[in-house]
Amino acid sequence: MTNTKRIRGPLGIHIEGIQVILNVRDMEASRAFYKGILGFEEVDWGTDDFTSVNRENVQRWAGQSGNLDLDRL
């Protein structure tokens, strides 16, 4: 039986999901790990400084260390 009641925290809000931005030192190695080993697919707009990889209902953002400008996001 599926429980359809939403669990709410102390503020009365329901969180569906959280997106994580990883600050990576080596984008090439990170791509190889997520795509080659874990089977993620990369978005077509990814660059050498910033990208996103996805698999099923999981999305990971990655920015190259030193090049990630969070003010732009």
pLDDT digits (tens, 9 = 90+) for 22-53: 899 899 999 999 999 999 999 999 999 999 99
Task: Tell me, rounded to whole angstroms, the distance of Cα 50 from its chain centroid.
Answer: 11
Which numeric CATH code is attached to 20-72? 3.10.180.10
What are the residue boundaries of the structural domains of the chain, listed by start? 20-72
pLDDT mean across residues, the chain: 82
Rg (CA), the chain: 16
CB 55 within 8 A of CB 41: yes
Angle at 57 between CA 12 and CA 18, to 5 degrees: 35
Angle at 24 between CA 18 and CA 25, to 5 degrees: 170
What's residue 1's pLDDT? 46
What's residue 69's pLDDT? 55
Q: What is the pTM assigned to this prediction?
A: 0.64
Q: What is the mean pLDDT of residues 40-67?
A: 88
